[in-house]
Amino acid sequence: MKLVRTLIMFMLFALLIACSNTANQQSEDNPESETASQQQAKNEAQKQNEQNDQTGLQKQDASSEDATESSLLNESEQQIYDALVQKLDKEKLVGLEPLSVAKLYVQASLDGQHDLQYFLYTTRDGHVQWSKEDHDLDLEKQGNRNTEEELENSKRVFQDIEKGTFIKTSDYEGWIKYRVNNQDEKDYAGFQMVQDEDGIWKVAFMPIQ
């Protein structure tokens, strides 16, 4: 009887040890499983971030291409334009080629920068056709803004002027020859330019001929 009791006690002790080992093994296995799960989630998140970054870069490239395609002014011309919008300073025009001045004028027209637009007209004696006061009065009658129809008309008239070629016709006159609306090579427009007495090229009044 005593032997049986001892045997039962031994079996119970062995069972307790076995249960304890199993629990320890599970405790050791769980962190590994949790770590693997966390690593998988991290990899998936990283993959998603890479996809998002790639999508963002593609959109940025597309926006840059659109801006480049629609831009009339180059970088240096844009800097001059922005400076003139802030302050009308003829020194900014010193040394500019006639085509660059014409592009500034067109951009001012498209943007509704009427003061800058008039500023770019020639001041040479015998070539001024109306005063700044008349210019402002006419704008006031028009509502001092460009209508959608006027903007579309300006875009059509000045399209591709940046691809034009300046042709000098006298000591202080010339015109920019450019093809209109990608039409036949014979279909050209002329944008008149006049050089002021100070040597700065300006836009002729009613420049399109």
Task: For tokens 């920068």, name the residue.
Answer: 113
User: Locate tokens 């004696």: which residue?
Assistant: 125
Coil, strand or helix: which one is 179? strand
By three-state DSSP, how is residue 52 classified? Answer: helix
Is residue 183 very low, low, confident or very high in pLDDT (cuts 50, 70, 90)?
Answer: low
Which has the minimum average pLDDT: 44-58, 114-128, 134-148, 180-194? 44-58
**pLDDT at position 67, please?**
39
Q: Which pLDDT belongs to residue 146?
A: 57
pLDDT over threshold 50, residue 63: no
Number of residues written out for the chain = 209
Model confidence over 68-111: pLDDT tens digits? 345 689 999 999 999 999 999 999 999 999 999 999 999 999 99
pLDDT at residue 80, rounded to an integer: 97
117-128 as b/e: b if 16+ CB within 10 A? bbbbbbebeebe
Contact 106, 137 (CB under 8 A): no
Which sign, positive or negative, has the C-alpha torsion 110, 111, 114, 117? negative
Take residue 35 and report the two structure tokens written for it.
């770590």
pLDDT in tens, 103-144: 999 999 999 899 999 999 999 999 999 999 999 998 888 765
Q: Which residues pair with 173 in a beta bridge?
A: 194
